[in-house]
Structure 1
């Protein structure tokens, strides 16, 4: 039972990692079209928001995300070396069968450790790379919604009907891009949520049962990594939601009542109605990428933890 609990969360990363790579490969043409649509919309933006501050925030959060995955692989390795040097004990990161003696042979032990670190790092690299693309796409999409709000406001105040019509067309395109983003990655969203909740439950149980420094180094970074992944998905989903709603605020803050063109006024009302329906990224219709969902998944993970604890101690 101990081996299953300690090994299963790590083994669960393999199909998760593979599924991400497969989805990106299968959807590669749609992903390219998505990028082209974002670039086209960016070029049409008239008023540039302070996107540099958003990019700095994005870079800072991504650095933190990278650090969590580096810790997942590095801390257990450091403690394994520490156990070997100070206590003459050979403790591997996970229970793995090797065609050589890694338990009683020093060379075999370090070769095994190097293999685990190398393979685990590759898994983490693919996971982080896929997540970075999704996070960056949502960030750019959010920036474009913010820019659109300012573009509409400026066009209305200047009574520039031509620019206003272009901005309204861009709004429709941004909604379409958001829908396509959801269709392409909805499976990754739900798989990430399930995998994170699963990992949190098992690593939480390992943390409760941990007694040595090495055992703590195995479960704590893993738990932080799972929490970070699910939080980042929900954070960026919430960011897109807020940005999409803010488009209507740009209209309300402008002098749209002064427009005499009835057709344009009707179009603005349509934009307001669309914006009031916040653009939420759905997870195959089961849930949404919001911070409220993060709270619910954290609660579910705790339920998994208590269930495992009850089963283990019966």
Structure 2
């Protein structure tokens, strides 16, 4: 078999493997025997232990914020993670709760995915896969960068004898000036950060995998429509198959919209707020360490939303290309009267572009990135005005 031959599962297997590390198998089937049932129970136990440990970070940060509400520097350091981490958890729990819907979406994608080697070559499936892999590798790179920064900060802070800072500002019920306690606390924070990473990026990767596959299927449909309408021997049944595929893709986009709608809305609202706070703190930072830390956080948040906007825009582009495929074909040369009558209905349906939105408030596309940055700047200007009064 050709080494470039791909299965539908290849697009989303990485995030699924990552989630299994924290005991979450979103595509798990009903156990068929006692051994599988025991394994599922163990996975579920690991998952809820991880989620409970993860929640301690937000609780400790909330306590720290309340105790130091009048200290602007501490509030600034706590606020970005205190906003972002619960949003990450919320996205993940929404997906976990609706995992049956997710399974249904992947089944539909599997059924529509091109399984013929020649068909995959003609439709350049490997290009869609490569584009997605660049994002996945980028996520790994960002994670390594984040952990490297935290690790080196741990080393540098542990060498100090006084005025040590925690990797992430949070309240602790004990004195962290002791070397052993300080290192144990830093280790705890690294675990919390690891869990956040294991939760945040897989959700985004799953969404981007789905949107990449949908745009791939629209692209494949466009090529098949063009090929069919340029064939003078086209049969009615062959055209009906293409129309049914289009209907299935439209329904699939609606299913994805139903599942991810609230996730997308929360992502973009929170991202605007976090970029606003971190951007402001970067501008007023009094030392290089704080400036780098806030800039890094802004970059991580931007890397969350930019690929999401890119892959959502690809759905708009590829669904829009269907009307181009019909217009550029020689359908008017087809002699079959039944087929000629079906073409206007195809055109009418193809004119209705498929897209994903944040709970109906905003259509997600490349222009959404500039909207988020504009909103963040507006919030930042307002925040600066309020604090400078």
- Tell me, yes or no, whether TM beats 0.5: yes
The normalised TM-score by structure 1 is 0.93
Higher mean alpha-carbon deviation, 76-85 vs 128-137, is at 76-85
CA 1:267–1:87: 2 relative to 1, 3 Å: farther
Contact 1:79 1:217 in 2 (8 A): no
**Which residue of the other structure, out of 281, 285, 295, is the alignment partner of 1:220?**
295
CA distance in 2, matches of 1:67, 1:233: 17
**Which residue of the other structure, out of 240, 261, 273, is the alignment partner of 1:186?**
261
CA distance in 2, matches of 1:307, 1:67: 34
Give unmatched runs, 5+ long, in structure 1: none
- Report what 2:371 is aligned to: 296
Q: 1:86: how far off?
A: 7.2
Contact 2:264 2:358 in 1 (8 A): yes
RMSD value over aligned CA atoms?
2.0
Per residue, is there more helix in 1 or in 2? 1
Which one scores higher on RCO, CA 8 angstroms, separation ≥ 6? 1
Q: 1:87: how far off?
A: 8.5
Q: 1:273: how far off?
A: 2.0
Deviation readout 1:257-277 (Å, 9 max, x if unpaired):
122233323333222222222
**Which residue of the other structure, out of 88, 96, 102, is the alignment partner of 1:31?**
102
- Report what 2:167 is aligned to: 93
The normalised TM-score by structure 2 is 0.76
- Report what 1:107 is aligned to: 180
Aligned residues: 313
Q: 1:43: how far off?
A: 4.5
CA distance in 1, matches of 2:340, 2:187: 66
Give unmatched runs, 5+ long, in structure 2: 1-71
- Report what 1:74 is aligned to: 148
CA distance in 2, matches of 1:107, 1:206: 31
Q: 1:281: how far off?
A: 0.7
- Report what 2:111 is aligned to: 40
Q: 1:200: how far off?
A: 0.2
CA 1:141–1:204: 2 relative to 1, 3 Å: same
**Which residue of the other structure, out of 249, 256, 263, is the alignment partner of 1:174?**
249
Structure 1 outlier segments of 4+, above 6 Å? none
Q: 1:68: how far off?
A: 2.8
- Report what 1:17 is aligned to: 88
